Structure 1
Amino acid sequence: MLYACGEVGDENFCLSDATCTALQLANFWQDVRVDYAKGRVYIPQDDMRRFGVSDETIAQGIATPEFRKLMRHEVDSARSLFEQGLPLIGRVNRDLAVDLDLFSRGGLEILRAIERRDYDVLSARPAISKSTKLALALRALCGKVLPFLRLHPRSA
Structure 2
Amino acid sequence: MSIDHYENFPVASILLPAALRPAVRSLYAFARGADDLADEGDADPATRLAALQAWRSAIQDLGSRKAVRAPLPAADLAMFQRLGETIHAHHLPIQPFLDLLSAFMQDTHVPHYADEHALMDYCSRSANPVGRLMLHLTGATSPRDLAESDALCSGLQRVNFCQDVAIDQAKGRCYIPLDCLARHQLTLPGLADLCRHPPAQAPAAWQAALREQARIAEQLLRAGSPLAWRLPGRFGLELRLVVHGGLRILEKLAAGQYNPYANRPILTRRDRFLLCWRAFCRPRPRPTPARLTHHDT
TM-score range, shorter chain: 0.7 to 0.9
1:92 to 231, 234, 237: 231
Q: Offset of 1:119 from its aligned partner?
A: 0.7
Whichever structure has more helix as a proportion of its residues is 1
Aligned to 1:153: 285
Q: Offset of 1:100 from its aligned partner?
A: 1.0
TM-score, normalised to structure 2, is 0.47
Runs of 4+ with >3 A deviation: 137-140
Aligned to 1:109: 248
Aligned identity (percent) is 33
Q: Offset of 1:150 from its aligned partner?
A: 6.2
* Max Rg structure: 2
CA distance in 1, matches of 2:135, 2:179: 33
TM-score, normalised to structure 1, is 0.86
Aligned to 2:137: 4
CA distance in 1, matches of 2:278, 2:208: 33
1:93-145 CA distances to partner (integer Å, 9 max, x unpaired)? Answer: 222210110100000011011100111112231222321123325766xx5xx
1:17-76 CA distances to partner (integer Å, 9 max, x unpaired)? Answer: 000001111111101011101111111111111111111221121421111000000001
Preserved CA contact (<8 Å) 1:19 1:82: yes
In structure 2, give the amino acid aligned to 1:15: E
Q: Identify which range, 101-110 or 127-136, moves more after superposition.
A: 127-136
Aligned to 1:127: 266
3-state SS, counterpart of residue 140 of structure 2: coil
CA distance in 2, matches of 1:54, 1:19: 29
Q: Which has the higher contact order (CA 8 A, sep 6+)?
A: 1
Instruction: Give unpaired runs (5+ residues) of structure 1.
Output: 144-148
2:268 is the alignment partner of 1:136: no
Instruction: Give unpaired runs (5+ residues) of structure 2.
Output: 1-133, 288-297
CA distance in 2, matches of 1:138, 1:87: 18
2:199 is the alignment partner of 1:66: no
